[in-house]
């Protein structure tokens, strides 16, 4: 027999009601057969709430360190402030510091010191970090005055700051397997979004050890799939030949096709979370949810990026493999 809305609400844990998407889901109509009704209203339980702080770009300018402190404070005061459930951990989504790619050693040292200091002073939560293009030291050799032979060169410095050996990693928590990918690979004097063969080998081995009943969340700096780049460039010219959108390989993963094939083989991969584009986007495609989140630094601390405010995301992972996201502005305004 279909449940009434009152019975449904009475039977629903408070944490589930906190999900706007759940509340907005259509109620079962009286005409639905009993089995379908049972399935449609099966309660789900949130297993993990991750605060995703991406594209922080901390720097000495624009009061960015104060902004980051305000963001940490906001995440940690969520229950008191908004009546929200607290996040279980923070994952930073890459571009932790303003830029090391084209910065010399002194400037890069200054930025990482800011990150370390604010984190130590204001963050008491478990924290994991994804590497971003701006976290990589000196691939822009001329501007950074790097030779390619320094022990801290490239990704090593960021790995040291994140306290781990490799630029990618994974861990298990609350029935979910969390993978932090390294999206950034060099091309000419810049970078493209992909993972290299060594990381593919690691990822395949890593996922093979995960039980099919365990849900998987992938975090990368560059989106694996996004429609946003279609809106970032001038529209394609309409002439005699077919107009073509020119999406740059630095905006999305160029190996998206390989990921699609992986997802088709491993149906327990449920969500891909990214940053890099500093906007909020959601795509649901072939059973996988793709969430790009806005930036802690918004438009590099100068103000909103397009319409996206200074903020972070709460990513909720449920026991049935579903995922919900809400974007939370933390009240920062640009300092001139």
The least CB distance from residue 134 to Zn ion, in Å, is 6
The least CB distance from residue 278 to Zn ion, in Å, is 6
53 touches 292 (CB < 8 A): no
Give me the sign of the Cα torsion angle 11, 17, 19, 25.
Answer: positive
DSSP string, 233-295: SPPPP-SSSPP-----TTTSBTTHHHHHHHHHH-TTEEEEEE-SS-S-EEEEETTEEEEE--B
The least CB distance from residue 133 to Zn ion, in Å, is 8
| Of the candidates 157, 160, 105, 150, the residue with the CA atom closest to the CA atom of residue 135 | 157
The least CB distance from residue 69 to Zn ion, in Å, is 19
Question: Is 55 or 324 the residue whose CB approaches Zn ion more closely?
Answer: 55
Structure tokens of 118? 């604010």
Q: Cα 253 to the chain's mean position, in Å?
A: 14
Question: Is 44 or 276 the residue whose CB approaches Zn ion more closely?
Answer: 276
Which chain residues interact with Zn ion by CB under 5 A? 55, 95
Structure tokens of 231? 């809106």
313 touches 92 (CB < 8 A): no
The least CB distance from residue 162 to Zn ion, in Å, is 17
Question: Is 95 or 182 the residue whose CB approaches Zn ion more closely?
Answer: 95
Question: Is 41 or 272 the residue whose CB approaches Zn ion more closely?
Answer: 272
Residues 194, 21: Cα–Cα separation, whole Å: 31
Question: Is 95 or 255 the residue whose CB approaches Zn ion more closely?
Answer: 95
Question: Is 154 or 223 the residue whose CB approaches Zn ion more closely?
Answer: 223
The least CB distance from residue 98 to Zn ion, in Å, is 9
């Amino acid at each position: 027999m279909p449940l009434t809305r009152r019975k449904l609400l009475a039977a629903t844990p408070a944490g589930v009601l906190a999900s706007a998407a759940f509340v907005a889901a259509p109620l079962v109509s009286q005409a639905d057969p009993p089995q379908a009704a049972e399935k449609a209203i099966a309660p789900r339980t949130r297993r993990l709430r991750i605060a995703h702080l991406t594209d922080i770009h901390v720097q000495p300018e624009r009061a960015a360190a104060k902004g980051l402190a305000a963001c940490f404070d906001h995440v940690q005061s969520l229950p008191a402030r908004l009546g929200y459930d607290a996040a279980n951990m923070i994952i930073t989504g890459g571009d932790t510091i303003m830029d090391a790619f084209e910065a010399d050693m002194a400037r890069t040292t200054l930025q990482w010191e800011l990150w370390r200091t604010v984190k130590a002073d204001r963050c008491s939560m478990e924290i994991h970090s994804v590497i971003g293009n701006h976290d990589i030291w000196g691939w822009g050799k001329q501007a950074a005055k790097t030779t390619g032979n320094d022990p801290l060169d490239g990704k090593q410095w960021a790995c040291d700051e994140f306290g781990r050996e490799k630029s990618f990693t994974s861990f298990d928590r609350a029935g979910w397997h969390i993978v932090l990918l390294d999206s950034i690979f060099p091309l000419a004097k810049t970078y493209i979004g992909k993972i290299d063969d060594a990381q593919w080998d690691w990822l395949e081995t890593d996922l093979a050890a995960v039980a099919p009943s365990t849900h998987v969340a992938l975090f990368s700096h560059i989106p694996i799939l996004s429609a946003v780049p279609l809106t970032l460039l001038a529209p394609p010219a309409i002439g005699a030949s077919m107009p073509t959108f020119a999406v740059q390989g630095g905006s999305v993963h160029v190996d998206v096709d390989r990921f699609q094939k992986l997802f088709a083989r491993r149906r327990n991969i449920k969500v891909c979370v990214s940053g890099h584009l500093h906007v909020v986007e959601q795509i649901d495609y072939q059973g996988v949810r793709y969430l790009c989140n806005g930036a802690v630094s918004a438009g590099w601390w100068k103000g909103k990026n397009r319409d996206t405010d200074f903020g972070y995301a709460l990513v909720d992972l449920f026991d049935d493999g579903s995922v919900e996201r809400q974007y939370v502005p933390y009240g920062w305004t640009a300092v001139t």
